[in-house]
Chain A
Amino acid sequence: MKILLIAESREGKVLSGTYELVAFAAKMNAESVMFLVGDEGVLPKYDGKLYLADGKTVGEYNPDVHKQLVLDVIAKENPDMVALCHSSYGWDLAPRIAYALKAAQISEVVDVVDGVPVVPVCNSKLRCDVKAKTAKTVVTLQAGAFGLSDEPSGTPTVEKIVVTGGGRVQFTGYEQAASGGVDLGKAQVIVSAGRGIGKPENVAMIAGLAKALGGEYGASRPVVDSEWVEHNRQVGTTGQTVTPKLYIACGISGAIQHLAGMKKSEFIVAINTDKDAPIGDVADVLVVADLKQFVPLLTEKIKSL
């Protein structure tokens, strides 16, 4: 089997998901070649053939242009499978390639068992084994599912490719996250609020426990989207990745995007009414309780220590 790995870079920097693609190819025991729109001076560490389009010429991600470049490489290499990260880049580009190849696309693969991709459904509560019925398959890989290949190493053999034609979607620039205020990355203790807090007034309860523990409070995405907590306190893929000594998840079910941002914390406590919530998979201690009763009680006991 031959897999074409669609590496990722942003503003000339190779993104770490690239190495998860390499780990995936190794797990599949497959031959691989890599595609990257990036910078010749900052090549991915990879022992294999790399088709490189110059990022400065191509510009940042443009769907039509990247699709055409990938299809040109596929025409040369005829891979059995195309693998991308399940990221804002991968999930945008993958269906375009799959459609052009008349291939099945299997999204957010977390494992491969006996050659069959496994995907999560219903907020990771369930899994499905999915089989492609087409000659070629496009897969996107869940971040972290295949790990980084130990210490990425190697130097690729570069074949430069050039772009023909432009795209219909015009990239006009990046907008960086608003900074300032709290830096969760430095906090030793983070107490985070999830949808389970129920109403904005209960943020104070979470902040109170954080304060009693000498830490900061954070939040999961739904709480930030509801504007109960400001974005610079959001933990997860589209917020901050944190590794405090203690992380307490209150009323957070544990969507993969949240877990990706906190699962490397040294000690994790989850407070949740649902014993089966996915957060339980990464928690050292799961307290099955209504946080609205438990958190104030715990806070008082800690204060009186």
Chain B
Amino acid sequence: MKILVCIKQVPDMESKFKVDAGGTWYAKTDLAWRMNEYDEYAVEQAVQLKEQAKDADLTVLCIGSDQVKETMKKALAMGCDRGAHIADDNASGKEPFEIAGVIAEYAKGKNFDLIFTGMQSQDRGSAQVGVLVAEMLGLPSVSTVVHFAYEGGAVVAKRELEGGIKACVKVQAPVVITCQLGMNTPRYPTLPNIMKAKKKELLSTPVQDLLKVDARQETARMYFPEKKGGGLVLEGDMAEMADKLIKILKEKTAVLA
């Protein structure tokens, strides 16, 4: 069995963002970087499937500068067998259709039985890439999966809908699965596995070799939303803030009456 899991390196969302000089994306300096949260679930599910299938081979793919190799090493330490790094210093300048095009071009002809992606990235959040990869490869896809099982060549999955409802589906592999938060419990890489990961294959391919599609959209401008504001902001001494808040709650709500 051949499995592919596609991951992205994103900034920690608690970071202080700044718009870069070009005005169309955030500045990449002074940020802490990590694996896109949705992709952690994708990697975990792919590793679990590999463990279940025994003779499986699991590739982790990531597009970006050399910096993303750090995140790829985490995926390798979690249990991926090999890394396919698509070297691109301008990955953030590519829109979802181009990213999907690069992944599909990589996967074409490699006969992956299962392709996992996160259901979206935490930064751009288009929720398009996984489904587009499937369309480009002519494969079925199931998005927003919170439960996954593989039984005799078929995937039995639950999609998360609104209001706590799940849709149960069944589909024959090969298939693309996009992973929602809470799908499993992503493992922490152990020290021995981190050491082992350093010896695993991690090959870089220039993005030009795989980019065969043109952009279909462009970001004209990035900016901070206007503060809707109106709300009172309390700062300073803890006890004073608590007293002020209690006074406000007494005046504005009936809950302390």
Cα(A276)–Cα(B233), bound, Å = 11
Instruction: Establish whether residues A266 and B128, one from each chain, have CB atoms under 8 Å apart when the complex forms.
Output: no
Q: Is A160 an interface residue (CB 8 A)?
A: no
* Choice from B125, B169, B238 contacting A121 with Cβ under 8 Å: B125
Q: Is A293 an interface residue (CB 8 A)?
A: yes
Contacts of B140 in A (CB 8 A): 63-64, 167-169
Instruction: Type the 1/0 row for B160-173, where 1 means its CB is closer than 8 Å to any CB of A.
Output: 11111111111110
Instruction: Establish whether residues A269 and B165, one from each chain, have CB atoms under 8 Å apart when the complex forms.
Output: no
Contacts of B182 in A (CB 8 A): 221, 224-225
Cα(A108)–Cα(B135), bound, Å = 20
* Choice from A128, A170, A245, A283 contacting B231 with Cβ under 8 Å: A283
Instruction: Establish whether residues B163 and A177, one from each chain, have CB atoms under 8 Å apart when the complex forms.
Output: yes
* Choice from B220, B225, B227 contacting A131 with Cβ under 8 Å: B220
Given A131-B217, A133-B216, check contact A95 B165 (CB 8 Å).
no
Instruction: Establish whether residues A92 and B131, one from each chain, have CB atoms under 8 Å apart when the complex forms.
Output: yes
Stretch at the interface among B80-88, B108-116, B191-199, B240-248: B240-248
Report the nearest A residue to B128, measured CB to CB: A95
Q: Is A301 an interface residue (CB 8 A)?
A: yes
Instruction: Type the 1/0 row for B214-257, where 1 means its CB is closer than 8 Å to any CB of A.
Output: 01111111111101110111110011011101101100111110
Instruction: Establish whether residues A122 and B165, one from each chain, have CB atoms under 8 Å apart when the complex forms.
Output: no
Chain A, interface SS category: mixed
Given A88-B162, A122-B26, A169-B140, check contact A245 B238 (CB 8 Å).
no
* Choice from B19, B159, B216, B245 contacting A104 with Cβ under 8 Å: B216
Instruction: Establish whether residues A107 and B238, one from each chain, have CB atoms under 8 Å apart when the complex forms.
Output: no
* Choice from A127, A221, A246 contacting B249 with Cβ under 8 Å: A246
Q: Is B179 an interface residue (CB 8 A)?
A: no
Q: Is B126 an interface residue (CB 8 A)?
A: yes
Q: Is A152 an interface residue (CB 8 A)?
A: no
Given A95-B135, A267-B253, check contact A176 B218 (CB 8 Å).
no
Q: Which residues A35-79 have CB closer than 8 A to chain B?
A: 60-61, 63-64
Q: Is A183 an interface residue (CB 8 A)?
A: no
Report the nearest A residue to B159, measured CB to CB: A88
* Choice from A169, A240, A253, A266 contacting B142 with Cβ under 8 Å: A169
Contacts of A96 in B (CB 8 A): 131, 135
User: Chain B interface residue count: which class?
Assistant: 35 or more
* Choice from B132, B223, B256 contacting A99 with Cβ under 8 Å: B132
Instruction: Establish whether residues A285 and B234, one from each chain, have CB atoms under 8 Å apart when the complex forms.
Output: yes
* Choice from B219, B229, B256 contacting A302 with Cβ under 8 Å: B256
Report the nearest A residue to B252, measured CB to CB: A267
Instruction: Establish whether residues B128 and A105, one from each chain, have CB atoms under 8 Å apart when the complex forms.
Output: yes
Given A92-B131, A92-B143, A99-B135, check contact A175 B166 (CB 8 Å).
yes
Q: Is A134 an interface residue (CB 8 A)?
A: yes
Q: Is A165 an interface residue (CB 8 A)?
A: no
Given A64-B140, A95-B135, A107-B126, check contact A88 B222 (CB 8 Å).
no
Instruction: Establish whether residues A63 and B141, one from each chain, have CB atoms under 8 Å apart when the complex forms.
Output: yes
For B160, B166, B215, the residue with the greatest tally of chain A CB atoms inside 10 Å of its CB is: B166
Given A173-B168, A221-B182, check contact A284 B136 (CB 8 Å).
no
Q: Is B122 an interface residue (CB 8 A)?
A: yes
Cα(A102)–Cα(B229), bound, Å = 40
Stretch at the interface among B10-18, B49-57, B70-78: B10-18
For the complex formed, measure the closest distance between the CB of B237 and the CB atoms of chain A, giving whole angstroms: 10
* Choice from A95, A174, A294 contacting B166 with Cβ under 8 Å: A174
Q: Is B69 an interface residue (CB 8 A)?
A: no
Contacts of A88 in B (CB 8 A): 143-144, 159-162, 167
Given A132-B217, A174-B166, check contact A294 B233 (CB 8 Å).
no
Contacts of B253 in A (CB 8 A): 245-246, 266-267
For the complex formed, measure the closest distance between the CB of B253 and the CB atoms of chain A, giving whole angstroms: 5
Given A168-B171, A225-B181, A289-B238, check contact A126 B19 (CB 8 Å).
yes
Given A168-B172, A176-B165, check contact A91 B227 (CB 8 Å).
no
If A107-B127, A129-B221 are given as contacts, then 9 extra A-B residue pairs at C-beta distance below 8 Å, sorted by A number, are A123-B13, A134-B217, A168-B171, A174-B166, A238-B163, A267-B252, A285-B245, A289-B238, A301-B243
6 interchain pairs, CB-CB under 8 A: A168-B171, A221-B181, A231-B164, A266-B253, A285-B245, A302-B256
The list of the 4 closest CB pairs from A to B, nearest first, reads: A177-B164, A225-B182, A104-B216, A168-B140
